[in-house]
């Protein structure tokens, strides 16, 4: 068999050392992606419908508990393992990978990541009892969690406190506010809502951010708005309105104050959307090679690989893909609490590179393959539209990555010019 980088190989290439557990999970993601998700992707995209069947497959295969700790019955996958599995899924269905991110990272943030943070013994004890509840919903009931934090203003970029407010009530919290772009809005059983605790007599503060799991069935929660976007159409990311929604204390996915600590000390928590787009970049490259070799079903036996300009374009795509992949693999192994300054800057550079290069590789793929390749009967035009969405994702949009990189490269914490 001809050996080349294509969909028969894992996203990390054939020479990246994977543990047995990682190999098993990657193989599972690849098999589901190739055999189940890819054939469904076109119709879900066309109809802007959530991939319910893909989630049923992932539920059956145990993938919904990818980042639930082993002690709670999950796979206990670490950050890098999550990222590689997610990229593998993104190769076959971008919207499934992007929404999978929202679910799995809720488990990652409240599980593995929060273990690294400082809590009082009392906070840790209560957090462990909340974890047991949330993890068992996923492992035993196959529950799906979403991660709505965007509000349309400066809060999701980290510049202001969230405008969705929680006020303490006996035995729980009362939540009011609005979230936009809530992926999984048609499918989640729980929405992991970032909101600000309103303390009597004080201004709202980012330090008082709360992370609460609001059940879809909660009284006062409504899902609102149309969903007819350019790309990532199957994410079904509509608006959520919270009107005096009561949630009990055990809805907390993190103790009070912990999200603020996590956002400051575990920056890679905001890089978790990029694996989806790493997968899309790989898919656009895979498609181009197969198309130019005349191997795409239904496109006739015409080969285009003999033209020098096509070869140069594929070379250019390969260079971009390898630059992107290598940064990706390096950055996901950097992820930890209190990373060095260079690892933090590399995380911004990685997010920027993946999100921008995925679009560019998809653009080159269409230019190189030619007009027939962008017909809706083929996946390339969907990859091109899905790729376009990556650099818009807060809090690390491409613009904000540049912003942070420039500032943090030139200023040490606390430094000012005057």
Ligand X SMILES: Cc1cc2nc3c(=O)[nH]c(=O)nc-3n(C[C@H](O)[C@H](O)[C@H](O)COP(=O)(O)OP(=O)(O)OC[C@H]3O[C@@H](n4cnc5c(N)ncnc54)[C@H](O)[C@@H]3O)c2cc1C
Q: Which of 181, 287 has the CB closer to ligand X?
A: 181
Instruction: Return the residue of 89, 156, 262, 329 that touches ligand X, per CB under 6 A.
Output: 156
Cα dihedral 247, 249, 253, 256 sign: positive
Q: Which one of 7, 147, 274, 276 is in contact with ligand X (CB under 6 A)?
A: 147
Among residues 304, 312, 390, the alpha carbon closest in space to that of 350 is found at 390
Among 110, 131, 237, 272, binds ligand X (CB under 6 A): 237
Name the one range near ligand X by CB under 6 A: 21-29, 70-78, 175-183, 257-265.
Answer: 175-183
CA dihedral 233, 235, 241, 245 (to 10 degrees): 170
Comparing CB distances to ligand X, the nearer of 153 and 370 is 153
Q: Please report whether residue 148 would count as binding ligand X according to CB under 6 A.
A: yes
Site string for ligand X, 80-119 (x = CB under 6 A): ----------------------x-----------------
Question: x/- string (CB under 6 A) for ligand X, residues 345-384?
Answer: ----------------------------------------
Report the candidate in 234, 41, 43, 63 with the shortest Cα–Cα distance to residue 144. Answer: 63
CB 395 within 8 A of CB 269: no
The H or E element spanning position 55 is helix 52-61
State yes or no: residue 224 binds ligand X (CB under 6 A): no
Q: Using alpha carbons, select from 358, 360, 346 the residue that is nearest to residue 277.
A: 358
> How many Å apart are CA 159 and CA 151, to the nearest integer?
12
Binding ligand X by CB under 6 A: which of 389, 391, 401, 404? 389
Q: Is 262 in the site for ligand X (CB under 6 A)?
A: no
Residues with Cβ within 8 Å of 252's Cβ and at least 6 positions away in sequence, in order, are 127, 130, 210, 211, 212, 213
Q: Which range binds ligand X by CB under 6 A, 128-136, 143-151, 344-352, 368-376?
A: 143-151
Q: Counting contacts by CB under 6 A, is residue 49 touching ligand X?
A: no
**How many residues line the site for ligand X (CB under 6 A)?**
25
182 binds ligand X, rule: CB under 6 A: yes
Residue 209 is a binding residue for ligand X (CB under 6 A): no
* Alpha-carbon gap, residue 96 to 279, rounded angstroms: 11
How far is CA 159 from each of CA 69, 205, 383, 391, rounded to the nearest angstrom?
32, 11, 32, 18
Q: How far apart are CA 326 and CA 314, in angstroms?
A: 18
Is 149 an interacting residue with respect to ligand X (CB under 6 A)? yes
The site for ligand X (CB under 6 A) is made up of 102, 147-150, 152-154, 156-157, 159, 181-183, 232, 235, 237, 389, 392-394, 397, 399-400, 403
């Amino acid at each position: 068999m001809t050996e080349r980088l294509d969909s028969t190989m894992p996203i990390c290439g054939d020479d990246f050392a994977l543990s047995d557990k990682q190999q098993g999970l990657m193989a599972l993601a690849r098999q589901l992606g190739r055999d189940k998700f890819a054939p469904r992707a076109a119709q879900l995209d066309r109809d802007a419908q959530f991939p319910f069947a893909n989630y049923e497959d992932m539920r059956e295969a145990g993938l919904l508990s990818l980042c639930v700790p082993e002690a709670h019955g999950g796979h206990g996958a670490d950050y890098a393992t999550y990222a590689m599995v997610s990229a593998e899924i993104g190769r076959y269905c971008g919207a499934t990978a992007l929404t999978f991110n929202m679910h799995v990272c809720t488990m990652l943030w409240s599980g593995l990541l929060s273990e690294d943070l400082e809590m009082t013994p009392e906070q840790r004890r209560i957090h462990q009892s909340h974890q047991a509840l949330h993890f068992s919903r996923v492992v035993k009931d196959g529950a799906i969690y979403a991660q709505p934090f965007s509000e349309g203003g400066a809060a999701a970029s980290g510049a202001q406190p969230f405008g969705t407010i929680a006020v303490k009530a006996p035995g729980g919290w009362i939540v009011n506010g609005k979230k936009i772009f809530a992926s999984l809005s048609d499918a989640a059983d729980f929405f992991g809502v970032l909101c600000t605790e309103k303390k009597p007599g004080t201004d709202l503060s980012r330090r008082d951010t709360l992370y609460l799991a609001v059940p879809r069935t909660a009284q006062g929660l409504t899902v609102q708005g149309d969903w007819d976007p350019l790309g990532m159409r199957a994410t079904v990311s509509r608006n959520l309105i919270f009107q005096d929604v009561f949630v009990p204390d055990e809805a907390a996915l993190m103790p009070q104050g912990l999200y603020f600590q996590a956002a400051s000390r575990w920056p890679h928590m905001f890089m978790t959307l990029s694996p989806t787009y790493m997968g899309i970049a790989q898919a656009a490259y895979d498609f181009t090679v197969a198309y130019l070799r005349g191997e795409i079903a239904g496109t006739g036996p015409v080969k285009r690989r003999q033209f020098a300009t096509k070869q140069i374009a594929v070379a250019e795509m390969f260079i971009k893909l390898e630059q992107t992949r290598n940064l990706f693999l390096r950055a996901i192994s950097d992820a930890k609490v209190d990373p060095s300054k260079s690892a933090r800057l590399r995380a911004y550079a990685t997010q920027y590179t993946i999100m921008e290069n995925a679009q560019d590789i998809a653009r080159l793929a269409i230019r190189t393959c030619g007009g027939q390749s962008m017909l809706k009967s083929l996946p390339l035009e969907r990859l091109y539209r899905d790729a376009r969405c990556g650099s818009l994702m807060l809090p690390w949009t491409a613009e904000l990555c540049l912003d942070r990189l420039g500032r943090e490269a030139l200023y040490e914490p606390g430094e000012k010019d005057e």
